[in-house]
Structure 1
Amino acid sequence: MGRLSGMATRTRRAGSDSASASPPASGARERPAADRLSLDVVQLIGAVVGRYHEEYELAASRHALTGAQAKVLGLLSLEPMPMRRIARKLKCEPSNVTGIIDRLEARGLVERRPDPDDRRVKLAAPTEQGRQTARQLRDGLDFAREPLAGLSRAERLTLRDLLIRVVGEEEAREVTSSPEHDPAPATAGAVGAQPATVPAPGRHD
């Protein structure tokens, strides 16, 4: 009797173990295992982002700006935009953007103006001094020029298109000028002419 009881206990345990090790339901998605090549790519992207952030903060500090302030100024130098759109690009709350705009406006770098399409909406736009500062910020970044100048235009286009596939077209539209169109030919000196498309590090102030 004891042997039968022991066998029954072992059978129940085996059944329990088998159930716990059963494959996931057909609707569940398994996360693919990270292979060595993918890990290398992620590490290299991290190194690129780290180097960009270091140089961006340094360039911003030369103008007594935080990274976030320089980021916003760079965005506005491309086109005026409302606070909510800036917040989406920065991936932060609109209230944080309001504080950044207040500080830039106090320094004469940004101004608020009504949206010509909807006068209830306020646009933030760079002043002439703000545009000059944004140009100086771009000129002060060697990050993109040095390594990317060694790539041909075809290689840069391939790299850009691969990155768009990685981040997705919707997000790419938020950080590039026009990912669905081939941009005008870029010279080595013009590489990285829009550095502010990468989110700046640090506090959003």
Structure 2
Amino acid sequence: MLSFDPIDAARTQWVERGWVEAADGMAAVTSVIRAHAILMRRVDAALQGSGVTFARYEVLMLLGFTRHDALPMRAISSRLQVHQSSVTNAVDRLEAAGLVARSPHPQDRRTVLVGITPEGARVARECTRRLNDEVFGALGLSEQDTTTLVEVLARMRAGAGDFELG
């Protein structure tokens, strides 16, 4: 463990080189990227042994939250905000593991539905328990800090066109 904050040290270097107007932004971006790495390491550890990655877990949870436990691939891509090829890859692997199943759409022959299987629902529940215990409920931040962080990042995401603030 370092005895100083390397991101703050880099911020100081930015200021000393005359990049004052960008120093806080550099520190913010670098901090978010570092926090992402820390969180992904914790997520990966919590999911270890489950047979799913976080991306696949997100697909399982999305399907489990739907009214009929199934969605078209296009809807999965849109709701998870990832490219359709990434969804196809995740669904292929989940299907091979018996956690989801593809079926034809009853009204649109061109559309394939992806549904969660009972085993997929069981894996999703177990992964959720682990993630809640080891990551989501153990961020090391106060409730107020967590709320503020979510609000700030939501404004940033909305400003980038991720979604429309209501």
2 CA distance for matches of 1:150 and 1:96?
A: 34
Q: Please report how far the alpha carbon of residue 77 of structure 1 lies from its aligned counterpart in structure 2 after TM superposition.
A: 2.6
CA distance in 2: counterparts of 1:59 and 1:165, whole angstroms: 29
Counterpart-to-counterpart distance in 2, 1:104 and 1:95: 14
Could you tell me how far apart the structure 2 residues matched to 1:118 and 1:157 are? 42
Which structure ranks higher in relative contact order (CA pairs < 8 Å, sequence separation ≥ 6)?
1
Equivalent position SS for 1:168: helix
Task: Give the counterpart letter for 1:171 in structure 2.
Answer: D
What's the TM-score, normalizing by structure 1? 0.55
User: Counterpart of 2:33?
Assistant: 46
Correspondence for 1:64: 51
Cα deviations by residue, 1:112-159 (Å, 9 ceiling, x for unpaired): 23446645422212112212211211221222211266224xx54433
Unaligned runs of 5+ in 1: 1-31, 174-178, 181-205
Is the Cα contact below 8 Å between 2:72 and 2:111 reproduced in 1?
A: yes
Q: How does 1:142-161 map to 2 (within 5 A)?
A: 142-147=134-139, 150-152=142-144, 155-161=145-151
- 1:181-200 alignment, distance < 5 Å: none
Deviations 1:23-61 (A, max 9, x none): xxxxxxxxx9413x3333223222321122112222333
SS at match of 1:125: strand
Residue aligning to 2:153: 163
The residue type paired with residue 55 of structure 2 is: A
Aligned length: 140
Within-5 A mapping of 1:82-93 = 82-88=72-78, 89=80, 91-92=82-83
Question: Conserved in 1, the CA contact under 8 Å of 2:46 and 2:135?
Answer: no
1:143-184 Cα deviation digits (max 9, x unpaired): 2211266224xx5443322211101175247xxxxx74xxxx
Q: In the aligned structure 1, how far is the partner of 2:64 from the partner of 2:162? A: 20
Gap runs ≥5 in structure 2: 1-19
Q: Which amino acid aligns with 2:72?
A: P
C-alpha separation in 1, matches of 2:141 and 2:116: 29
Contact 1:148 1:156 in 2 (8 A): no
C-alpha RMSD of matched pairs (Å): 3.0
Correspondences of 1:102-121 after superposition (within 5 Å): 102-115=92-105, 118=108, 120-121=110-111
Aligned counterparts of 2:38 and 2:57: Cα–Cα separation in 1: 16
Partners of 2:28 and 2:86 in 1: CA distance: 33
Percent pairwise identity: 29
Structure 1 position 129 matched with structure 2 position 119: yes
Calculate the TM-score normalised by the size of structure 2. Answer: 0.65
